[in-house]
Structure formats: C-alpha cells, structure tokens
Amino acid sequence: MSPKLRVAASIALKELRHIRRDPFTLAMALGMPVLLVTFFGFIIDFHYKNISVTVFDHDGTPASRRFAQSLGASGYFRLSKAHEGLTPDYALENDKSFSALVINPGFGRDLDKRGAGPSAQLLLDGSDNAKTGVTLGYFQQASAMAFDAARGQRSPPPSSPVSTRFLFNHELNSRWFIIPGLTVVICGLVGILLTALTVAREWENGSMEMLLSTPARPGSIIAGKLAPYLALGFCGVAFVYAAARLVFGVPFCGSHALYAFSCLLFLLAATAQGLFISIATRQQQLAMQFSIVSGLLPSLLLSGFVFPVDSMPLFFRWFTCILPPRWFMETSRDLFLKGAGLADLWPQFLMQALLCAVLLALGLKKFKTDLEP
C-alpha cells in the first residue's frame, strides 16, 4: 500500500471508530433515514382517496343513480346523498364535504344525445388547490367510466379528440414520485451534515494541530475523511431502496449499476460539500448551520423533490444547475420509474461529475496545512 493510501485508510478507520462511539453521529446517520422515509413515505401523500362528495341528484333516474354509484366504485370518492334542504354552497362552506356533484334534471334523458349532452356540475373546494387539482384529474378519468355505466353500455361513448394516458406512473401515485426523490434528501443529509462536522471537530479538539505536524498530506486527510461517510451514505441509499421496493412497492425499471454509480457520484459531491464547509468554518456549530442551509434546503426545495424546477422563476431554474441535488433527482426518478439508460442520463452524470470535481478542488484548496490565522 502506498504511504498516501495508508494514511487515508488510517484516517478512515479512525473516523469509523469515532462514528461507532458517537451516539449523535450514529443517530443522525441511521435514525434520520428511517425518520425521513416514515415522514415522507407514509404521511406526505398526494394520492388522495375517499374524497368526500355530496351528491345532489335532481334527475333521480336509474341512469343518474348508476352514474353516481360508478363514481363511488372508483375508490377515490366517498359519496353521500344530500339531505333535504342542504345546498351545495352550504356543504362546501361548512366543510361538510370537499366537493359537491350536482346532477341536473334531464341527465338520464340526454345521455345519448349528441351536442349539448347530459348536464352535471362538480363543485370543488378551491382553498386546497393541491387536492382540487388531483380531484379534478381523478374525476375526469372516473366520470368517463361512470358515463359508460350510466348508459349501461347502450352505445359507444362519444369520442374525445384528445385521449390521456399517464406513462411510467399510471395511477399518478405520489409515493412513486416521492420515494425515489428521498434518496437525494437522505444522501444530502448524511453526506453534508455529518461530513461538515469532521474537520471542524479536529480543529475544536486541538487534534488538527498535531495532525498537521505529521507527514499526512491534505489529499490523504480528505480522502480518509470522505470514505466512511460515503459508506454511511450508501447504507442510507440501500435503506431507502429497500423501503421503496418492499414497503412502498415502487417499481425499479433502470439499471442497478447505473443507479449505484449515480448515488456514488452524488454522495461524493455531498460529502465534498460538507468537507468544504467544515474546512472553511473550522467550528462545528457554524458548520452545522451552514450545512443545513446549503445542504438540506436545496435538496428539499430546489431539487424538484416537491416543486418542479420547470415551474420556478428563470433565476432559480438557472441557479439549480449548480446544485448537485437537482441533477441527482432527475437521475433517481428516471432510473426508478422510466428505466432510463446512460444515453438519456449522460448530461445529468456530466453535471454531477463536474460539480463534484469543483467541490473537491475547493476543499483541497481551502484545506490549511498550517496554523496561520
């Protein structure tokens, strides 16, 4: 083993011993992925079910009843019949119901009529626009089937000039969308937050002074410091992958080797960013604050995890280009759901590699080999 590699391996082993004996680091490294998967996987769900619908059936024909029943059978809506005297406005205003379906008189009669056709109205609570948008999507799909049911398949449905089909995530299951993105958040957390403390801790402990007086070079110290956190990050990735497949049933359509490489690239960028923060601040508290702001917020807000990058103002769209989470978010989702290959993802890989190199170079440049103020 070359002397430089031996020094790096020795520092890596020392870091592993610190991690094993430090309850805070262990809790952060192992507890946070579990917490985040539970939080995002189980609680955040845009895949609404049992949306309450109060039905005002002013037609009262077998066809209108079949239409409503069929909507209820879709599984997305929980239907209740409007009682005497209740108006749609009142039902929505007083949170009795999220939506109201008003079936106008003549609905059954006009079912097969071309032109104006049957008349019904869906009223939605617009104060929750996320849920409204999703409900509308469900309604459009479910109502097409409900019309068939109302007709009793008496005639072919009137054809629409535009037919819609969702590829890669047929049901628009939000967990399929969220969980692959969680890898980005967890890698960001483990990689940046934990690495950010390592060099700062050496400065605060006073051990850096002794370390700098030895023949250990910055490159070896940095490599030794990064390696254990890369391994820890990989454990986080493996945990999220297992949870995605086994608990949440997210399909994985891409190449596992490509996914592993992509994770490694992002983890390297995240740990390099953490190390740069640690080297620059030399104080654990300051390093922690910087890493939360520069690490966690881009992963959560500017990576496309929840808010699409394409919908951001122009400045932020460009700004996200210098953030590794943005590129890894695309590769992770495309590998999980689309089964994308290297031919599709090379721009994302290139950008990640570039940002990785920049962050490592910054860390090396900023690493102090003396005690000069």
- Residues numbered 20 to 49 that lie near other proteins (CB under 8 A) are 21-22
Q: How near is the Cβ of 214 to other proteins at its closest, in Å? A: 5
Using CB under 8 A as the binding criterion, the count of chain residues that bind other proteins stands at 26
Of 18-26, 54-62, 237-245, 248-256: span binding other proteins (CB under 8 A): 18-26
CB of 205 to other proteins, least distance (A): 7
How far is it, in rounded angstroms, from Cα 85 to Cα 79?
Answer: 18
Q: Which amino acid is at 46?
A: F
By beta-carbon proximity to other proteins, the closer residue of 212 and 288 is: 212
Q: Is 153 in the site for other proteins (CB under 8 A)?
A: no
By CB under 8 A, the residues from 180 to 209 that bind other proteins are 205-207, 209
Contact window for other proteins (CB under 8 A) among 53-61, 97-105, 353-361, 365-373: 365-373
Closest listed residue to residue 284, CA positions, set 189, 217, 215, 201:
201
Which C-beta is closer to other proteins: that of 121 or that of 207?
207
Stretch that binds other proteins, among 80-88, 146-154, 212-220, 335-343 (CB under 8 A): 212-220
**Least spacing, CB of residue 289 vs other proteins, in Å:** 24
- Candidates 269, 260, 264, 265; CA nearest to 322 is 269
C-alpha distances in Å from residue 370, one per residue of 184, 205, 256, 333: 35, 16, 43, 44
What is d(CA 201, CA 322) in angstroms, rounded to the nearest whole number? 28
78 interacts with other proteins by CB under 8 A: no
Cβ atoms < 10 Å from Cβ of 364 = 16
Nearer to other proteins, 14 or 58 (CB): 14
Angle between helices 218-242 and 256-281 (to 10 degrees): 130
Smallest gap from Cβ 209 to other proteins, in A, equals: 5
Selected from 23, 115, 215, 313, the binder of other proteins by CB under 8 A is 215
Among the listed residues 23, 43, 246, 372, the single contact to other proteins using CB under 8 A: 372
Q: How far is the CB of 6 from other proteins (least distance, A)?
A: 5
| CB < 8 Å & 24+ apart, contacts of 363-371 | 363/222, 363/272, 363/275, 363/276, 363/279, 364/218, 364/219, 364/222, 366/276, 366/279, 366/280, 367/199, 367/218, 367/221, 367/222, 367/279, 368/212, 368/279, 369/212, 369/218, 370/212, 371/209, 371/212
Q: Which of 26, 27, 144, 210 binds other proteins (CB under 8 A)?
A: 210
The correct pick among 216, 300, 329, 345 for binding other proteins (CB under 8 A) is 216
Establish if 17 lies at the interface with other proteins (CB under 8 A).
Answer: yes
Q: How far is the CB of 270 from other proteins (least distance, A)?
A: 25
Cβ proximity to other proteins, 92 vs 216, nearer residue:
216
Contact with other proteins (CB under 8 A) among 38, 50, 121, 213: 213
Contacts of 182 (CB under 8 A, 6+ apart): 36, 37, 40, 41, 240, 244
Rule CB under 8 A: which residues touch other proteins?
Answer: 3, 6-7, 9-10, 13-14, 17-18, 21-22, 205-207, 209-216, 370-373
